[in-house]
Structure 1
């Protein structure tokens, strides 16, 4: 496990959110959904996974599969901040001259598997985790799912298989932002009690605040949660986190802002960050 520095994680997450806002124009991206996953992805690559710019082809590296593929702006932004991707390439988003677009593409170093059609990568992650188990490796395998994605039966079939083969080297992380596209999950097909459902399938489950880096660190530091059981982290998050004007809005799943709107959102983003820091300083004093 890498070093844990909450101040650095917050700074990195702020920069990643700025990248997402800048990618939300000239064709747009899945802004609200991506913003909910930023802290999860930043924490995993900075403080949990053995993945860096120098070991992307190393068979001993850890693996992250973004099954919730439309959150890839958060992944690309994290790659750019951690040196896996040239920051200048983010400006090629949706360009015909690059492979950076709405879903993960394996032409981008660090992307382990294509995704976009939901419900498929849990099975891919299981295959990798099983291979690691058979070969006696110590790699960690993480698969990030959207909560709306859990309406896909393949996710629950994967849970059955993962526990049947005692894949305690596999972690399913659910970005629980309570939205599926432009509808609240509980108004469409209710998921709760979600932790109980995963436990009933045999998983070892932790539920945390997905924007609290200390809570994330405490949860993942306990890996594996229980020997012989697949690990599940339900991370409660907020769609559009960091931009109060679009937070928890059903119509801000996909956004395509004009240049002036982007600049206003960047001001809002940095203002929100400063407010948070001020609040935390007051608490400390």
Structure 2
């Protein structure tokens, strides 16, 4: 066989699945803690409000938005990410992400003026909306423009325009900035762009689309907001899962039993067998990948 190849110059056949990979992986990872992973496997992804801070040349913007976050990383790139976000997670197929409207965030330099200019423009549109469509029926504008005012909603959808612009707000992230975890500074100049984050955010009119960052400091308000958006699960099927990640090798059997004992009818025996082969541990990733 070797002689034939040398004489003809033919190359040995290569498995199609072993071809050089593309620039982007085909899996999005979501990392969390052990209890949350068990909950996701039992009841799908749960949306929760995340506190965000975007620094720009003119100051900073703080807000909280409902979301589920993912990272667009290869297995070989996960070690440092797990240090910050936990060693338990799911790797979901990108086809599933596309079907559910999961999108990459857009990264902005902390020295850029774009975020401040954007927010200023959105506020001006809101001021215009308030001028064109006052809430009070006895406002001077309505009284002075009885014939014009009723036609304005058909000509100018200011609420819709404002909402569409604010939708971009929920995908905004600094390229580099301080990293805080549970209120504690972890890294003074963390490169968020290395995470290649993607987000699922619920439709604008389904829950409170944005909340004040301070609401996350009030346990009652935070619980209420998360309870409301938690009513909108992000569904998946077993076949949408590429990987299940646990921290220790010894936890494989525990996760398998959890899936087998799940009351969710979507896990039939064939699904359990397939998912069993898709379990990786952080130990394995650190040592072998």
TM-score (norm. length: structure 2): 0.28
TM-score (norm. length: structure 1): 0.28
**Structure number having the greater strand percentage:** 2
